[in-house]
């Protein structure tokens, strides 16, 4: 009986771990010089809300726009323009939380980097999913995380006048 219980437990644990791994993704962030700058991790919670964790170093101090972009490509030689525009998602909203017709699913709050160049933040969103039916990050052309050189003003079209793209990571 004990051997049967242990076997059932092991099968259930293996299934749980496999299921949890399906519900996670990450982006290795690189700066404009093509050097690794950190990681952004996405994990779907049991409630269906996406938990996003950002850990980066070597970033310029101050406030920066932080967005999910529509294409899973990050070419530093092209200023990360290969990531396309902001990820609009299923609702086709305009840019910006201050816009009555916004925000895009890819609009995230500005992030703040300390004088030591470290960026650490975590937050939750129900506007995105990893591969579900609602605004999936892992769609046909993928998605990317982009950090901009200036803060997002939360309303200017199409991207909040957040400045140059200073870091990018493909969500995988």
- pLDDT at residue 60 greater than cutoff 70: yes
What value does the mean pLDDT of the chain take? 83
Strand partners, 62: 113
Residue 101 banded pLDDT, cuts 50, 70, 90: confident
The per-residue pLDDT for 4 is 45
The per-residue pLDDT for 137 is 84
Kindly give, in sequence order, each residue whose CB lies less than 8 Å from that of residue 29, ignoring residues fewer than 6 positions away.
Answer: 36, 37, 38, 39, 40, 56, 145, 147, 167, 168, 169
> 112 vs 153, which has greater pLDDT?
112
Q: What is the pTM of this model?
A: 0.83
Question: What gap in Å lies between CA 124 and CA 66, rounded to an integer?
Answer: 14
Could you report the per-residue pLDDT of 2-35, keeping only the tens digit for each?
Answer: 554 444 444 344 444 444 445 899 999 999 999 9
How deeply is 35 buried, as exposed, middle or buried, from its count of CB atoms within 10 A (0-12, 13-18, 19+)? exposed
Helix-, strand-, coil-residue percentages of the chain, each rounded to 5: 15, 35, 50
CATH number of the 24-170 domain: 2.60.40.200
45 φ/ψ angles, rounded to the nearest 5 degrees: -85, 165
Q: What is the mean pLDDT of residues 80-92?
A: 83
The per-residue pLDDT for 36 is 97
Question: What gap in Å lies between CA 110 and CA 83, rounded to an integer?
Answer: 19
User: In this predicted structure, which of 10-14, 64-68, 73-77 has the lowest mean pLDDT?
Assistant: 10-14
The per-residue pLDDT for 117 is 97
Q: What is the mean pLDDT of residues 121-138?
A: 83
Q: How many CB atoms lie within 10 A of CB 93?
A: 18
Q: How many CB atoms lie within 10 A of CB 38?
A: 21
168 φ/ψ angles, rounded to the nearest 5 degrees: -155, 150
Tell me if 56 sits within 8 A of 41, measured CB to CB.
Answer: no
The per-residue pLDDT for 64 is 96
- pLDDT at residue 112 greater than cutoff 90: yes
Written as six digits, the tokens of 36 are: 């690794």
């Amino acid at each position: 009986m004990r051997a049967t219980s242990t076997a059932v437990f092991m099968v259930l644990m293996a299934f749980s771990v496999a299921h949890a791994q399906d519900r996670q993704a990450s982006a290795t962030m690189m700066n404009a010089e093509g050097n690794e700058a950190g990681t952004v991790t996405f994990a779907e919670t049991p409630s269906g809300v996406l938990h996003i964790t950002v850990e980066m170093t070597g970033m310029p101090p101050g406030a920066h726009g932080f967005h999910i972009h529509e294409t899973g490509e990050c070419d530093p030689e092209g200023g990360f323009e290969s990531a396309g525009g902001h990820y609009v998602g299923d609702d086709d909203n305009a840019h910006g939380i201050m816009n009555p017709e916004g925000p895009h699913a890819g609009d995230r709050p500005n992030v703040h980097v300390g004088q030591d160049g470290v960026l650490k933040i975590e937050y939750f969103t129900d506007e995105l999913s990893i591969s579900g039916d609602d605004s999936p990050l892992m769609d046909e052309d993928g998605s990317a995380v982009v950090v901009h050189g200036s803060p997002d003003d939360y309303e200017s079209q199409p991207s909040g006048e957040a400045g140059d793209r200073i870091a990018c990571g493909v969500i995988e």
